[in-house]
Chains A and B, each alone.
Chain A
C-alpha cells in the first residue's frame, strides 16, 4: 500500500497501486510511474473519501490539518527541503484529481510554500533573486484567483510582495494567510468546493457520474530546473510526433523552469544538448520513455525537469501527433508486435487520412514561383482562384462556378457567406486567432492572415495560388497534386486491415446501380441523407463519404459506398461501429 499518513491521506511511495477512485487520476499516474521505478517528485494525496466527508458535513474532516503536516514532513524528508522555513525551501503544487476528469474543477495552485522568508532562501539557492520574486508573485496571483476567488488586476512585476498582498485585499479578496500551512489547508478545501461548481455538476449530470464520488487532492513537491548549471527542463516524445519516425524527439532548456518554455523567452535546444552535457541523465530519460511507451501501449509525450543533475518526470500522456505520424505510429507498432490491428485502426482518424491525401503544391512548384504576398499560415490547404475583395461579388461569382480567392483587410460575420463559397481566404490584418483564421479553419478553407496593409486587396482581379501551409500567395495557378492512397505502403496496410473489419464495402469506382447523391437535391446535406438513401444498397457522391454520411449509411443499412479515397470512409465506418458498441 502507498502508506497511510492518517485516515484521509496517503503518501505515494510506489509500493502498491491504490484504487483510482480513491486517489484520482493524477495521483494514480504518479503512483504508477513510481511503481515502474521511474523518478517522480514525491507526492501525497488527500483522498476522495475526505472530500465526501466534507461535502456531507460542510466541515473539513477532524485531524486533516495534522495529516497534511505529516504529508509535508514526508515530502521534506524525501526532497531534503524545508517547508516555510530557512534552508532549501520546499514548494508544492496542489491539484484536483477525480477518478474521471471533468470541467469546472479547481486549477492547479503552484509554488505554495513561498513566503518572504522562503523567497530569500529560494533566491539564495538559485542565485536568481528575480526568479524568486517572480515565483512569489505568480503564487499570490494564482492563490488569489483560484483559492480566494478574487477578481484581481495583473500584479505589477516591479512591485513588492507587500504591495501584491494589498492589491489582493483591496480587490475584495480575503487576506492571503501568511502561514503556508494555512494556505495549504485552504487550497485543499477550495478543491473540495470546486467539486460542486456549477460546471462540474452540469457535466456529471450529462454523463451520469454520481455526485457522491468526490475528488482527491494531490500535493506534490516542486522541482526547479533553474537551480544550477546541472538543471533544466524539457519535453520528450518517445517518437517523432511530426513524421512518426521511431526516434526520440524533444527539446531541452538548460537552467530554466517550465514556464520559460511556454513563454518563448528562451530558444529551446534539441535533446542532444542534454545528451552532450549529462549523458547519464539523457540515457535514463530515454529508458524511461521506452518504459512508459511500452506500459501505456502508445507513443508518449513526457514533461521532465533536471534538478541538480537528477532527472524528474513530471507528466506523461499519449502524444499529440500530426497526421503523418498517426499513420506511421499505428502501422509501426503493429509490425513491432506492441498493438493489434484493431487498436491501430482506432488511432488513425478519417480526418487525418483526408488531410494526408488533400491536394498540395507539386514538388518544386513553389521554388520557381513568384511569392506576391506572405502572411501567417492560418488554415492548411491550397486554393487557386481570382482575387476578389468585395464579399458579395466573391460569393456571387463563386456560386456561378468561378474559382475565387476572397481578399479582405479583415473579415466580420458579414463575410462568412462569401468565405464558405471561396477557394481561399486572405487578410491583411490579424493573426492566428483572428475571425478569418477561426472561421476558415471551421470551414476547412485555405487561409493566410496578416499579410500587411494594402498587400492582398491590391491583387484584385489577379489569378493567384494560396498555400495555407506556408502562408504564401503565388502569382498564377501553380500545379497541384493529390497524393495516392495506394502508393503509400502504410496507408495500404491500414486499408487492408480496415477492409477486413469494416461493416460495409467501399469501392473506389464502379457500382453502376449506385444512387448518386451528387445529382440529388439535398445530397450534400447530412440531415437529409437518411430520407434520401433509405432502401438503397449502394450509394455514391454528395455527402456520403463524410463522417456523418457514413454514419447515416450504416444506420440505413447501405452495404456499399463508392468513394475515393477509400480509407477515410472505412475508418469512419469503423469509428461509427465503435461508438455504438
Chain B
C-alpha cells in the first residue's frame, strides 16, 4: 500500500472533498493528505475546483489499475471475502429499510414519507438499529482484514445515534454523512478493494 494510492482512493470515494475530508476517509493525517493531493494535482491526477478534489481521467485510470496490486492479498483472504459476502446480504435489507424510511405504503400506493407519522418512523428506525447490530460483527471481521475500515464503524454509529435522537435527516440525507451516505461510501470502498462490480 502506498499513501498516494490511498489519497486517490479517498478522492474516488469522497468526490469534491477537501484534503481534510479525504484524510478522514482513508486514515491519512491531514497534512499528509494535503501534500499528496497537491502533488497529484501538479502531476495531473486530480483537479482542484472550489476547494475540493476530483480525479482526472488519467488519475482515475491509474487508480483503477492499482487496486488489484495493492489488494491482491486481501482478495485471497477467505475470512475477509466471506464477511464481504455477508455484508452484501445485509445490504439488501438495509436498502429496503432506507426505502421504507423514505416512502409510505398507503393502501397499496407509494407516497413520500414526510415523517409526520412518528409511530411509523419509530418502527423503521428500530429496524435500522437491528440491521446495524447484525452488521457489527461483519464489520469487525472486515476491519480485521483492513483496519482502515474502522472509520466507517464510528460514522455509522454516530449517524444512527443522531437519528435515534430525532434528527431524521441522519438516516438518508444525501448531502450529509447520513447512515445511507456512509453505508454507500463503504460499499463503494469495498467494491473497489475487491474489484467487484455493483449489482443493483
Contact = CB atoms under 8 A, between A and B. Distances in A.
A347 B116 CA distance: 8
Tell me which of B95, B165, B180 has the highest count of chain A C-beta atoms within 10 A of its own C-beta. Answer: B95
Nearest to A434: B200
Given A412-B188, A416-B15, A431-B200, A320 B120 contact: yes
A179 B95 CA distance: 39
A202 B98 contact: no
B164 interface: yes
Contacts of A157: none
Interface string B1-30: 000000000001101100000000000000
B54 interface: yes
A320 B99 contact: no
A102 B16 CA distance: 38
B15 A430 contact: no
Contact of A432 (B99, B107, B188): B99
Interface stretch (B34-42, B76-84, B148-156, B170-178): B170-178
Contact of B95 (A355, A433, A442): A433
A242 B110 CA distance: 10
Nearest to B134: A151
A249 interface: yes
B25 to A, nearest CB: 11
B155 to A, nearest CB: 13
Given A104-B129, A433-B98, A438-B172, A321 B106 contact: yes
Interface in B108-161: 108-112, 114-117, 119-120, 122, 125-126, 129, 133, 161
B98 A438 contact: yes
A203 B125 CA distance: 11
Contacts of B181: 413
Interface residues of B, number: 47
A438 B102 contact: yes
B99 to A, nearest CB: 4
Nearest to A438: B98
Nearest to B137: A151
B172 A442 contact: yes
Given A104-B126, A320-B117, A420-B174, A206 B200 contact: no
Contacts of B164: 103, 199, 202-203, 206
Contact of A441 (B102, B133, B175): B102
Contacts of A437: 99
A385 to B, nearest CB: 19
Interface string A372-399: 0000010110000000000010000000
Tell me which of B54, B164, B175 has the highest count of chain A C-beta atoms within 10 A of its own C-beta. Answer: B164
B185 interface: yes
A420 B122 contact: no
Contacts of A377: 110
B198 interface: yes
A199 B122 CA distance: 13
A101 interface: yes
A410 interface: yes
Contacts of B175: 420, 443
B70 interface: no
A202 B115 CA distance: 22
B45 to A, nearest CB: 16
A380 B112 contact: yes
A345 B84 CA distance: 48
Interface in A411-429: 412-414, 416-417, 419-420, 427, 429
A335 B175 CA distance: 42
Contacts of A443: 174-175
Given A199-B129, A412-B188, A438 B107 contact: no
Contact of A433 (B96, B109, B125, B126): B96
A240 B99 contact: no
A202 B51 CA distance: 38
Contacts of B120: 320
A237 interface: yes
B104 interface: yes
A546 interface: no
B198 A410 contact: yes
B15 A413 contact: yes
Interface in A320-372: 320-323, 325, 347, 349, 351-352, 355
Contacts of B110: 377, 432
A429 B200 contact: yes
Contacts of A322: 106, 109, 111
B126 A318 contact: no
A467 B70 CA distance: 44
Interface of B: 12-13, 15-16, 54, 92, 95-96, 98-99, 102-112, 114-117, 119-120, 122, 125-126, 129, 133, 161, 164-165, 172-175, 178, 180-181, 184-185, 188, 198, 200
Interface of A: 101-105, 198-199, 202-203, 206, 237, 240-242, 249, 251, 317-318, 320-323, 325, 347, 349, 351-352, 355, 377, 379-380, 392, 410, 412-414, 416-417, 419-420, 427, 429-435, 437-439, 441-443, 450
Given A241-B106, A434-B95, 16 more contacts: A101-B122, A199-B126, A199-B164, A202-B164, A237-B107, A242-B109, A320-B104, A355-B111, A379-B112, A412-B198, A416-B174, A433-B92, A438-B102, A441-B112, A442-B173, A442-B180
10 contacts: A103-B125, A322-B111, A323-B111, A351-B115, A352-B114, A355-B114, A414-B15, A414-B188, A416-B174, A432-B99
